[in-house]
Structure 1
Amino acid sequence: MAYFERLGPGSFRPTKHVSGAWDESMQHIGPALGLLVHEVERDLAARRDDPMIISRLSYEILGVVPMDAVDVEIEVIRPGRTIELVEANYGHCDRDGIRLRAWLQQPRDTTEVAGHGFDPIPAPDEMQPWDPTTLWGGGYLASAEVKRIFDGPGRARYWVRTDVPLLAGEEISTLARVAGLFDIANGMAVRADPKMVRYPNIDLGAHLVRVPVGEWIGFDTRVTFGSGGLGLTASVIHDQNGPLGTVSQSLTVRP
C-alpha cells in the first residue's frame, strides 16, 4: 500500500501510512511534502522538455489536514528560461493545508569548483536500528526504517528509508521520495518527551546542492528550544555520496 492513491488529475486519497504522530485522525505532513514535489515535477515535464532541477523547497504549514481526500494545484509564479519559481497548494475542502514554493534552475557543469564544509556522518551499516514507534504513534513513523546514533537531547545522526511507495502506480523521482521523509527530522532528535511537551513545526525549508541518489537519506540534526515558545530543528542532509543540503523547521513549543 502506498502513501497516496490518485483519484483524479489533482486529487488524492491518503492511506493509513499518512496518519500523524501528534493526532492519528490527521495527516502527517511528511508524505504530502513528497507528493507536492512529484506534482511540481509532473507539471514541469508537461510544460517544457529541457532539464530543470529543484534547488529550494519552502513549505508553509497552514493548518492540520484530516485523513481525507485532498487536492493539489500548481501555478508558475516566476517563469524563466534558466530559473523558475513554482507554487503548489495542498488543500482539503477549499481550505489550504500546505503551500510550497519551489525554485528550479537549469543545471550546468560546476565540477571544477564543487566542494562543501559539512562534517560526514557514519554510514547506515555503522548505526543501530531504532524503532520510532517506541516514542511516536501514527502510520507515517511506523512506515520508516531508521538507523540512529542518539548523541543526547536535541542531537542525533541517523539514516531513514521506507519501502512504502509515495503514490500507487506511478514512477516517482528520488527527490520526491526523499522529500517525503524530510519532515521526520523533528521526531528523531527529541529534546523533550512529546507526552510532556508538544513541538510541531509550522514550516519546512530545504536547500539542495544536487539531486539525491540512493534509497537512504541521512540527517545530522540539532533541536533548539528558546525560552519564549519558539524552537528550531536544523539538519544537514546526506545521501550515499555525501552532504546534500540542509533542512530546517520552525517549531511552536507548547509544554
Structure 2
Amino acid sequence: MTVTEPFFRLLPSAADDPPGTQRVFATGSTAGPWFPDGQHMGPPSALLVRALEACDPRPEMLLSRVTVEVLGRVPMGELTVTSRVERAGRTIELVAAEIAAAGRAVARAAGWRLAATDTAAAATERGSTMPGPEAGREIPTPAGWLPGYLDAVDWRWLSGHLGESGPGRAWGRLRVPVVSGEEPTPWQCLAAVADSTNGAAARLDLNSWLFVNTDLTLHVHRAPRGEWIGLDADSVIGPEGLGTAFSVLHDEGGTVGRAAQALTVRPR
C-alpha cells in the first residue's frame, strides 16, 4: 500500500493553551498493524523527540538519551503535545515532553541533553559491521496486518523480517514527514524506526504469544546523521512474563548507539 500523508498535521493553537503546547492531528499513516484506531509507537516517539528538540534549544547541547514511556494506546485524531525543561544546566539538562488525547496523557518522554565537546582524539566508536541499505531486500507486510506506519517506512531487510521469529537486521527510512511541511531530523528518524526493535527482534510466534513493549530507551554516542536508520535487533524472553528487546543502532556512517525495550509477555 502506498502511504503519502505525513504522520501528523499541525493544528491551530487554542487561546488558553499554555506555552510549549502544540496541537496536531494524527493521520492514518500512524496506524499500527493490529488496531484500526491506534497508532504504532514509532510516530508518537518521533513526535516526542521533535518536542524535546524544540524545547528551549541550544546549539551547544546534544541529545544523549531519550526514554519514551507508553502510558496507553495512542489514538489517531487530535492530540496535544507539551514540553518543558525539567532540570536546567550549563552542561547537563533534562527536558520532557508529553502527548495527551482528550485531556489524558498517553505517552511521555524525557531526554538528557549534554554539552558538545571535541572528543575526536578519544573516540572509540567501531565501524559498522552491518551492510548498507542497498544490500537489503523489500519484503511485503504479512497478510492480515493493517496498513499505516509499516507502509510509511521504506524497509530493507538484511536478515529476518516482521512476522518471522528470530533476531533481525534491517534498515528503515521514512517515506513521509513526521509533521506536515517539515523535513524530519535524524533524531526523529531514529526514534520512528527504532521503536520497531521489538518487531525486528521477535523470537516468539505472533499467533501464540503477546509481547508488547512498555517503553523505548535510546542511548547514542554520537548524533545520528542522514535518513537511513539500521537496526541489528535481538530479544531475550525470561521465565516470568518479562522480556527485553534491544538493538544496535546504525546510520550509513556506522554505529550510533543502542535501543532497549521492556516487554510484557503472555500467551494469547
**Same fold, TM exceeding 0.5?**
yes
CA distance in 1, matches of 2:150, 2:207: 16
CA deviations on 1:30-73 (whole Å, 9 max, x unpaired) are 1011111111212223xx5x421100001111111222211111
Is residue 100 of structure 2 the alignment partner of residue 88 of structure 1?
A: no
Is residue 73 of structure 2 the alignment partner of residue 61 of structure 1?
A: no
Cross-structure match for 1:198:
210
CA deviations on 1:205-228 (whole Å, 9 max, x unpaired) are 000111111221001111222121
> Displacement of 1:137 after TM fit?
2.6
CA deviations on 1:102-149 (whole Å, 9 max, x unpaired) are 000121110001113586211112222223344743401121221113
- Over 3 Å counting, the alpha-carbon distance change for 1:135 and 1:109 in structure 2 is farther
* Equivalent residue pairs, number: 252
CA distance in 1, matches of 2:165, 2:116: 39
Cross-structure match for 1:124:
133
Is residue 253 of structure 2 the alignment partner of residue 241 of structure 1?
A: yes
TM-score w.r.t. the length of structure 1 is 0.92
Cross-structure match for 2:19:
none
Relative to structure 2, which stretch is displaced further, 148-157 or 195-204? 148-157
> Displacement of 1:171 after TM fit?
3.9
- Over 3 Å counting, the alpha-carbon distance change for 1:170 and 1:162 in structure 2 is closer
Identity %: 36
In the alignment, is the contact (CA less than 8 A) between 1:53 and 1:106 conserved in 2? Answer: yes
CA distance in 1, matches of 2:233, 2:144: 17
CA deviations on 1:174-199 (whole Å, 9 max, x unpaired) are 21232122211211233223232221
Alignment of 1:1-255 (within 5 A): 1-9=5-13, 10-45=22-57, 48=58, 50-116=59-125, 120-134=129-143, 136-150=145-159, 153-255=165-267
In the alignment, is the contact (CA less than 8 A) between 1:201 and 1:251 conserved in 2? Answer: yes
- Over 3 Å counting, the alpha-carbon distance change for 1:89 and 1:195 in structure 2 is same
Which AA in structure 2 matches 1:131?
P
CA distance in 2, matches of 1:44, 1:211: 18
TM-score w.r.t. the length of structure 2 is 0.88
Structure 2 unmatched runs, 5+ = 14-21
Which AA in structure 1 matches 2:85?
V
CA distance in 2, matches of 1:226, 1:219: 22
